[in-house]
Amino acid sequence: MARKFFVGGNWKCNGTTEEVKKIVTTLNEAKVPGEDVVEVVVSPPFVFLPFVKSLLRPDFHVAAQNCWVRKGGAYTGEVSAEMLVNLSIPWVIIGHSERRQLLNESNEFVGDKVAYALAQGLKVIACIGETLEQRESGTTMAVVAEQTKAIAAKIPSWNDVVLAYEPVWAIGTGKVATPAQAQEVHADLRKWIHSNVSAEVASSVRIIYGGSVNGGNCKELAAQPDVDGFLVGGASLKPEFIDIINSATVKKN
């Protein structure tokens, strides 16, 4: 079955009310392929989620950038999956490398978070990826397989999961994995899922690429057979995000 192209925009810890209005206006006025061709999800900081949701065109959706690993309660500063469901936020990003590195989120913790979010009815963009040191020592596949395994072990179904491969060395650095490097890891991940989850999940799960994706490199990356879309950082705050969404048409041709 054809996997629908997926483009996520991770705004990270950026934006003021005015800037957010401007970004949403640009998105709302954009000419992009229909929902049958591409699924678009933008992820503003928590404080702007309801605001963005209220202004955003109906064919685009919103995602939170994180949520807590269990039911809410005495967890100061955290946001629970239940709160996101209550606000009708359909998606959440979990396990982004910035959280793995800066906040020491372990593979197991990320797996638990993904499972809990799914159990509450959220859809999850689950992030994996290796550091430069790991890439240079030749352990890329071992690292991403271990990260994927920790998620696979905890979830009953992959229907509501998009897997985002983000080489840590390419995030915000301007270094981008070559289309061949991205394709190689995506293909190996699909093989791993085929062997360790099922053939059906391997052929249907979307594996998207993140790491310095921009208007200039998106088409060549999108043309790779196992790249099913993008998780975009810095460029998602700029008008070129529209070019990245439009790269979905590469798959149709």
Question: Which residues have a catalytic role annotated?
Answer: 96, 166
Q: How many residues does this entry show for the chain?
A: 253
Instruction: Compute CA 175 distance to the chain's CA centroid, rounded to the nearest angstrom.
Output: 19
- Quickly list H helices, the chain: 17-29, 49-55, 81-86, 97-102, 107-119, 132-136, 140-152, 179-196, 199-204, 218-222, 241-246, 249-252
Query: Which 8-state DSSP code applies to residue 232?
Result: E
Which residue, 188, 100, 111, is CA-closest to 148? Answer: 111
189 neighbors 148 (Cβ within 8 angstroms) = yes
Q: Classify 91 as helix, strand or coil.
A: strand
171 neighbors 210 (Cβ within 8 angstroms) = yes
Q: Which residues contact 156 (CB under 8 A, 6 or more apart)?
A: none
Rounded Cα gap, residues 176 and 98, in angstroms: 17
Compute φ and ψ for 132, nearest 5 degrees.
-60, -40
Rounded Cα gap, residues 189 and 84, in angstroms: 29
